[in-house]
């Protein structure tokens, strides 16, 4: 069993907590949803935030520099995440190599944060939850949903170009497939407070189970 599979098993084996995986297509509102879970007392973990930490840890940073041309991924001597992402999303081989490097450490840190927390509900935001085969790590997987045109409009408002957005979308599972795989799909095409009420209801339900 490799390191990734070992930490997947340990994450799935956490007892005494409702551990949820949160995902959704690009610009579906995952960060907003995570904030609402936090307001309801959940231990919240962002896989992207942990990935940013792991990327700059000495061991990973040095291996990345050896794998990629420094002139392509550095800006003023520092790792440029946007340039690295451009390299990775244009090559499935490079993406798989980077995932194999990062995922075990991200899962390890996720496990540590959840087990140290006193909260009875834990939520892990993972944009590539299904792509990484993490669904079995969680009691429940929650996927945010919105119409495709709205998702693209939101992404463009964030400053992404249409080409960047479509390249990222192409590198992920189709939104409809994510919805099919999820335990629960929450529509987020309306106002933020509407999503907040749905998440509050879900958290109240989970608290009653424990």
pLDDT of res. 17: 95
Contact partners, residue 169, CB within 8 Å, separation at least 6: 25, 26
**What pLDDT does residue 210 have?**
58
pLDDT at position 70:
83
Burial of 140 (0-12, 13-18, 19+ CB in 10 A): middle
Angle at 94 (CA atoms; ends 90, 98), nearest 5 degrees: 125
**What domains are defined for the chain?**
17-204 (3.40.50.300)
Residue 109's pLDDT is 97
Tell me, what's the pLDDT at 39?
Answer: 98
Share of the chain above pLDDT 90, in %: 71
Give residue 167's pLDDT. Answer: 84
Which pLDDT score, from 0 to 100, does residue 145 have?
98
Rg (CA), the chain: 17
Report the pLDDT value the prediction gives residue 171, as an integer from 0 to 100: 82
SS3 for 155? helix
Low-confidence ranges of the chain (pLDDT < 50): none
The pLDDT score that the predictor gives to residue 175 is 96
CB atoms within 10 A of CB 85: 17
CB 124 within 8 A of CB 50: no
- Name the pTM for this structure: 0.90
40/47 Cα distance (integer angstroms): 20
pLDDT of residue 95: 84
């Amino acid at each position: 069993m490799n390191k990734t599979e070992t930490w997947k098993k340990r994450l799935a084996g956490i007892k005494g907590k409702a551990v949820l995986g949160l995902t959704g297509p690009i610009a579906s509102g995952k960060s907003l949803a995570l904030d609402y879970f936090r307001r309801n007392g959940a231990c919240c973990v962002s896989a992207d935030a942990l990935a940013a930490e792991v990327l700059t840890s000495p061991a990973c940073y040095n291996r990345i520099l050896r794998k990629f041309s420094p002139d392509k991924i550095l800006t003023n001597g520092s790792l440029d995440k946007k340039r690295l992402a451009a390299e990775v999303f244009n090559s499935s081989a490079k993406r798989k190599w980077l995932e194999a490097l990062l995922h075990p450490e991200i899962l390890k840190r996720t496990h540590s944060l959840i087990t140290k927390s006193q909260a009875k509900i834990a939520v892990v935001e993972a944009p590539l939850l299904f792509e990484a085969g993490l669904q079995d790590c969680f009691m429940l997987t929650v996927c945010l949903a919105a119409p495709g045109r709205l998702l693209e409009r939101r992404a463009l408002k964030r400053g992404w170009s249409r080409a960047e957005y479509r390249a990222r979308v192409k590198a992920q599972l189709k939104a409809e497939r994510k919805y099919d795989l999820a335990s629960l799909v929450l529509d987020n095409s309306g106002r933020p407070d509407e999503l907040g009420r749905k998440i509050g209801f879900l958290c109240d339900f989970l608290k009653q189970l424990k």
